[in-house]
């Protein structure tokens, strides 16, 4: 779905206000985009704490760079580019952190850094339980996708960006995006077929 | 899957997203009524979309904005060490470059003078042509030497008078300040010195020659100063400024607009770097114009 023209115009107005010194305009932009940015981070990184930290860092980076924003693309596309780059970089460092952690467990026999998990005894309704279970399965299946495929699925099927916008923010051709999404969906279909 | 199914298969996703025009949607529905495979594909994709869209609303509070505001405010109070070090480091770098330039200039100077020997030879020919009219005509009637001898001005390194006169857009005889005799030297002596290469240079000649050489080349101090505008523009850009004119403008001033909130920091950084005069004026609500001019 392409970005609505009035939304783009509203964003531009906020950016111009910010550039002319109205600090609150940036807060409005953050409010408008915090959910999307957080969801992309969460679904790509698969960890709420990391997602929150990276989303915050993305907006701080945007704050520092917004003074030089030249309106060559929409604010949304610009922010998505920052988000994707940050996620990919964090994904790489996250991977190396996980690898180190496993190496530590292998060598020490136990992982001292793991937080102690306390059992939550709050009763959960069976339907909600099933729904949560389904969500967890989907999350796990997405987390197992190859990073490029995962990002394509997050942007297209979760955040509903158009193929053209995904191609623009990721920096590949539309055909490549379509092929990545088709492969990722097929992989997910196989992984999740018992959920039907 | 036959060709017709392939064609309709591509329409299933836009149909489920509500992006298909009514005519195409009606055609697809007609096909789905008669094709079980495509109907199953639509049902699969519909289920997939419904499941995956649950992920777009995580069951957690998303309050990034408050944290972002806190971080921005705290960063505004504390200037990070890297930023505090940036200006002194830049100053040290500029000073080092200036020092290196000076050392290179000093060691390179004699070699350059040797390399200009052929030009001195050319200058030696001047006496032959000037000699018959050694009786100096009145200044008002004296034609420029360059027009008498050559279409190109001669480069007389002994005095540099031709170059200086040419730069000033005047003939030698019209450039009395440059060629004024040294104290205790008559005007005639000066002329003889100009046109008599056989005479060995006196210490006074060397002093004069060196002082004029200095005028032809940028001294290292000015080389360092030339770097300042680039740094000032870089500082301004880092604070989100829009550059109106850079140092290449006729008056050498750098003018830029930037958000008022950034003005104080930017001016302070520029002042740390340079002794230039910095003036500030308001352009519009929240935007100020900064003018940096070398004193």
SS3 annotation, B78-107: CCCHHHHHHHHHHHHHHHHHHHHHHHHHHH
> Residues A181, A145: contact at Cβ < 8 Å?
no
Q: What is the H or E stretch that residue B157 is in?
A: none
Helix, strand, or coil (residue B61): coil
SS (H, E, C) B234-291: HHHHHCCCEEEECCCCCCCCEEEEEEHHHHHHHHHHHHHHCCCEEEEEEEECCEEEEE
> Residues B211, B81: contact at Cβ < 8 Å?
no
Q: Count CA atoms within 13 Å of residue B86 on its CB side.
A: 12
CB atoms B64 and A22 under 8 Å? no
Q: What is the H or E stretch that residue A169 is in?
A: helix A163-170
The pLDDT of B52-72, averaged and rounded, is 86
Least confident of A52-66, B7-21, B149-163, B268-282: B149-163
Interface test with A, best of B41, B58, B283 (most A CBs within 10 A): B58
Distance CA A102, CA B202 (A): 83
Closest CA relative to residue B7, chosen from B22, B17, B24, B21: B24
- The better pLDDT of the pair B21, B123 is held by B21
Residues B71-80: contacts with CB under 8 Å, at least 24 apart: B71/A56, B71/A60, B72/A60, B72/A63, B75/A60
CB atoms A52 and B53 under 8 Å? no
Helix, strand, or coil (residue B292): strand
The alpha carbon of residue A106 is apart from the nearest alpha carbon of chain B, in Å, by 33
- The better pLDDT of the pair B85, B206 is held by B85
Checking if the pLDDT of B127 tops 50, the result is no
Q: Which residues sit opposite B257 in a β-bridge? A: B242, B289
Distance CA B72, CA B76 (A): 6
- Dump pLDDT digits (tens) for B241-263: 888 887 777 777 888 888 888 88
Say which residue the tokens 């009035």 belong to: A6
Which tokens belong to B88? 């002194």
Checking ipTM against 0.85, whether it exceeds it is: no
Nearest CA in chain B to A38: B62
Would you write out chain A's pLDDT as a tens digit for each of its 196 residues?
456 778 899 999 999 999 999 989 999 999 999 999 999 999 998 888 889 999 999 999 999 999 999 999 999 999 999 999 999 888 777 665 665 555 555 555 444 444 444 444 555 566 656 677 788 888 899 999 999 999 999 999 998 899 999 999 999 999 999 999 999 999 998 888 777 5
- The better pLDDT of the pair B185, B1 is held by B1
pLDDT band at B53 (very low <50, low <70, confident <90, very high): confident
Q: What is the H or E stretch that residue B293 is in?
A: strand B287-293
Predicted model pTM: 0.49
CB atoms A158 and B75 under 8 Å? no
Of B19, B57, B65, the CB nearest to A34: B65
> Residues B230, B248: contact at Cβ < 8 Å?
no
Which tokens belong to B155? 């480069």
Closest CA relative to residue A154, chosen from A12, A43, A48, A53: A43
CB atoms A42 and B58 under 8 Å? yes
Interface test with A, best of B12, B45, B56 (most A CBs within 10 A): B56
């Amino acid at each position: 779905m392409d970005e609505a023209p009035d939304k783009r115009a509203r964003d531009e107005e906020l950016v111009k206000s910010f550039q002319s010194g109205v600090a609150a305009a940036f807060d409005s932009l953050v409010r408008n985009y915090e959910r999307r940015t957080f969801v992309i981070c969460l679904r790509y990184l698969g960890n709420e704490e990391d997602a929150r930290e990276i989303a915050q860092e993305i907006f701080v980076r945007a704050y520092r760079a917004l003074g030089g924003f030249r309106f060559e693309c929409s604010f949304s596309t610009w922010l998505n580019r920052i988000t994707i780059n940050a996620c990919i970089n964090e994904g790489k460092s996250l991977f190396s952190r996980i690898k180190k952690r496993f190496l530590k467990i292998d060598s020490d026999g136990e992982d001292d850094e793991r937080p102690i998990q306390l059992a939550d005894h709050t009763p959960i309704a069976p339907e909600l339980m099933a729904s949560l279970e389904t969500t967890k399965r989907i999350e796990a299946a997405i987390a197992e996708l190859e990073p490029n495929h995962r990002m394509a699925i997050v942007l297209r099927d979760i955040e509903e960006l158009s193929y053209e916008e995904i191609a623009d923010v990721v920096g590949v051709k539309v055909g490549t995006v379509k092929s990545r999404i088709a492969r990722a969906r097929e992989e997910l279909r196989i992984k999740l077929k018992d959920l039907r | 899957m036959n060709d017709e199914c392939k064609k309709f298969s591509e329409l299933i996703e836009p149909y489920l997203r509500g992006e298909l025009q009514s005519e195409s949607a009606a055609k697809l529905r007609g096909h789905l009524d008669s094709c079980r495979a495509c109907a199953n594909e639509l049902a699969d994709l519909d289920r997939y979309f419904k499941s995956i869209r649950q992920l777009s609303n995580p069951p957690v509070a998303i309050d990034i904005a408050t944290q972002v505001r806190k971080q921005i405010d705290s960063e505004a109070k504390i200037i990070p060490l890297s930023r505090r070090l940036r200006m002194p480091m830049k100053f040290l770098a500029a000073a080092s470059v200036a020092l290196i330039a000076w050392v290179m200039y000093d060691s390179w100077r004699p070699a350059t003078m040797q390399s200009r020997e052929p030009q001195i030879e050319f200058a030696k020919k001047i006496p032959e042509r000037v000699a018959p009219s050694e009786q100096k005509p009145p200044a008002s009637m004296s034609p420029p030497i360059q027009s008498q001898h050559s279409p190109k001005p001669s480069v007389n390194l002994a005095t540099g008078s031709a170059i200086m006169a040419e730069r000033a857009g005047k003939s030698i005889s019209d450039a009395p300040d440059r060629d004024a005799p040294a104290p205790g030297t008559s005007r005639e002596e000066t002329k003889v010195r100009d046109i008599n290469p056989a005479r060995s240079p006196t210490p006074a000649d060397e002093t004069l020659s060196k002082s004029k050489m200095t005028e032809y080349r940028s001294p290292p101090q000015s080389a360092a100063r030339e770097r300042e505008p680039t740094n000032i523009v870089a500082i301004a850009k880092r604070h989100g400024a829009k550059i109106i004119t850079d140092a290449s403008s006729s008056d050498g001033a750098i003018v830029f607009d930037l958000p008022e909130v950034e003005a104080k920091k930017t001016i302070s950084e520029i002042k740390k770097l340079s002794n230039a005069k910095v003036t500030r004026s308001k352009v519009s609500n929240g935007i100020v114009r900064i003018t940096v001019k070398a004193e």
